[in-house]
Amino acid sequence: MNLNSAHIHLLLNHFPIVGAIFGLLLLIYSIFKTSDDLKQASYWTFIIVALLTIPTYIYGEQAADIVLNVPNVTEAYVHKHEELAEVSLITLEILGTLSIVGLFFSSRTKKTVNWLTMIILAIAIIGTVLVSWTGLQGGIIRHTEVRGDILILTPDHSDTEEQNNHSHE
């Protein structure tokens, strides 16, 4: 089996989603515990997420060309996923950049800056929602169970009558 862009994208795409969720939860916890160390750990998490989002996006662009040749894949599903991926990429890169700024300030003052933490929190919430939604839209491309296109097998009318006749005998 040859590893192509679609395979690599499928391997990478979970890291930005799980990482953003983890980083967001860690940041929220650090705010409640008033722990600068945990805030800094969440900033590092967001930086790693921002870095991993770049190859995920690049391989996703290449994967689109591959999956558009697969039966039952429509351009509309792929296009929606691509549009959300672009917005997610931009948001997570901003989040990563602000996290670098947050680490810089905390290294100089030995404390995190509260107003910057609140901005990072707001962007982390937006970024986490966006990247999760992007992942869902990506799943819709190939997973009919997510789309609601599940084939439900029901007995036809003659089978039902036959079952009813047997139950009364």
Per-residue pLDDT of the chain (169 residues; tens, 9 = 90+): 678 888 888 889 999 999 999 999 999 999 999 999 999 999 999 999 999 999 999 998 888 888 888 877 788 888 899 999 999 999 999 999 999 999 998 888 867 788 999 999 999 999 999 999 999 988 888 766 655 655 444 555 444 444 455 555 4
Single-letter amino acid, residue 153: L
> Counting runs of H as helices and runs of E as strands, what totals does the chain give?
7, 0
Q: How close are the terminal C-alpha atoms of the chain, in Å?
A: 57
pLDDT confidence of residue 143: 67
State how far the Cα of 15 lies from the Cα of 51, in Å rounded to an integer. Answer: 10
Q: Which tokens belong to 40?
A: 């800094």
Helix axes 5-12, 36-67, angle to 10 degrees: 150
pLDDT confidence of residue 107: 81
Residue carrying structure tokens 């192509």: 4
State how far the Cα of 132 lies from the Cα of 14, in Å rounded to an integer. Answer: 9
Output the pTM of the full model.
0.81
pLDDT confidence of residue 2: 78
pLDDT confidence of residue 149: 56
pLDDT confidence of residue 71: 77
Q: Which tokens belong to 67?
A: 């999956």
122 CB-near residues (< 8 Å, 6+ apart):
none
Would you say how long the chain is, in residues? 169
State how far the Cα of 116 lies from the Cα of 60, in Å rounded to an integer. Answer: 31
pLDDT confidence of residue 169: 46
Q: Which tokens belong to 113?
A: 């800056």
From the list 37, 11, 14, the residue with the least C-alpha distance to 26 is 37
